[in-house]
Amino acid sequence: MNRIESPFTPETITAALREEGLRITRTRRGIVQALFDSGRPMTLQEIQTAASAHEGAQPDYATVFRMILLLEKLHLVHRVNLQRSCSYYEISDPRKHYDHLVCRGCGQVVLIDIPCPIGDAEKKIAQQYGFRNLSHSLEFFGVCGACP
């Protein structure tokens, strides 16, 4: 291997957009920056609020919605299932793996950074059920040390 691993930054996103012939706007930079800053799954509302911190005016909710849709399509953002009433989104480095641990008490979300326990189970399942291109969504729920 030994290839150079370029870091995954806001610039990675803007570069990807440019490659698609899309435009880089003040609003889009704000949204992307908000996602990187937080480092945890966010609702569209949270993204909207946080984006304004960077680029002045708060973007419209519909704009955030469409931007996230776009980033999802490009696999630069993915949805996280937190079993809540609305969707959460998070930056998605295609080379990384994202599993979460959620506290049922305070709601805090921790990104788990141990090696994913699914790895080859995925291969077995693909074989056994005749599926291909497998991916998965894995979330743990529990009660954190600070909660009763």
Partner DNA sequence: GTAATTGCAAATACTTTGCCACGTA
Partner DNA sequence: TACGTGGCAAAGTATTTGCAATTAC
Q: What minimum distance in Å lies between the beta carbon of 49 and its own copies?
A: 24
Category of 83 on φ-ψ map: left (φ > 0), alpha (ψ -120 to 50) or beta: left
Amino acid at 7: P
Q: Does 2 bind its own copies (CB under 8 A)?
A: no
**How many chain residues interact with its own copies (CB under 8 A)?**
34
Spell out, one character per residue from 92 to 131, where the chain touches DNA: x when CB under 7 A holds, - when not. ----------------------------------------
Q: What minimum distance in Å lies between the beta carbon of 144 and its own copies?
A: 5
Per-residue b or e along 53-91, where b marks 16 or more CB atoms closer than 10 Å to that residue's CB:
ebbeebbeeebbeebbebbeebebbbebebeeeeebbbb
Query: Where on the chain is the footprint of DNA (CB under 7 A)?
Result: 17-18, 21-28, 43-44, 57, 59-63, 65-67, 69, 85-87
